[in-house]
Structure 1
Amino acid sequence: MPLAPPAPSLPRPGILGRAFGVLFFLIAVVIFGIGIFNAANAAGVIGTHGTLTVKNCWVERGTRHSRGHTVCGGTFRSDDGNVVDEDASISAAVPPGSKVSVQRAADWYVRTGFGEAARWIAMFFLGWLVLAFGMAFAVTGMFPRDAAQVGMITREISDARVGTVRKWIVRGSLAGTAICLLLTPFTGS
């Protein structure tokens, strides 16, 4: 008669668990920043507006777990004519010869329009999920060793005030992401 494996138990609180929670906070802050910065560019609030005339497109291979993505390159010309970049590129699949409205953001280009801004805002809301995931570890100081312990740690805080805040962050994240992604197909982007 085989013995049942021991039931998983909660890990002991420590600095490693808190550091794990802080790591998720830092990742969330980076996601927030990328989302808001690119949304502001896509909305035309910051950056240099212009047109990218597409010369050619290619597929940049991803990792073994992703197919890669299409990149189109060509010439960027700002609306005022002061900035010309012969080596501009965007992550998009558009036919060669197309003129794409873009915003120059630092060293890269972002397509403009309401739909594009909504997609980047959706990324901002997804950062909330990352933040919510890490909250349980930061608050309890528990570092999970497996998926069962992740669930146990999350249940441990579910009745506490931080658990309630976490639930609202998750709900806000899912609602915000869904609304943003629902708006994108209707914008012509």
Structure 2
Amino acid sequence: MAKTFCVCSCFFTHNVFLQRYGLHCVFLDDDQFGEDYRALLREKGCASDQEYDEVLKEVHGEVERRRESSETSKLRVQTIQLHYQRLHSQIYTLSEQFLDGQFLEIVKYCRSDTATPAGLLDIITEEEVPNVYSFPVLTEQFCDLLLQELEHFDKSKMSKGRPNSMNNYGQKQLLSADCVCTDPAVRTGV
């Protein structure tokens, strides 16, 4: 069964980031944009009509990129899946060998009939700030392999997309290496 993906209409109009001016904006049309942002842009150094036209061109480009992003992303992922030569194929499938021992102990404890919140806190040793705890989930080996894979992909000639105007990353998603976060085994506690 094919997945249906929905996008909020605000994705196409809101939170357009103008990096040069450090400004997040909403773009419904040229008139609205001018009324809402022309004076503010002047204050931020966009003084001439030519500079303002460049800003409008940038905003139009970002809105258009967002409108086409779903189809473009689908095609990019298909191309990557067909042609990308993985460096470490073993990281694409969740394996217990990549889960940190402390995390496995926590999972084992939580699955036991005698598990209690207090007992869990006894085995989680790192309290970063009051009531905020941390523990390793993945092994250093896995993290090293994942970083090597991401660097390998980054150096490849594969097309890379960016999720939004503030983010120049997104490779993990393109590589389908986000399985560690979305795999049902992880969500249900291994």
TM-score (norm 1): 0.29
By percentage of residues, which structure has more strand? 1
* Higher RCO (CA-CA < 8 Å; seq separation 6+): 1
Q: Which has the higher helix share?
A: 2
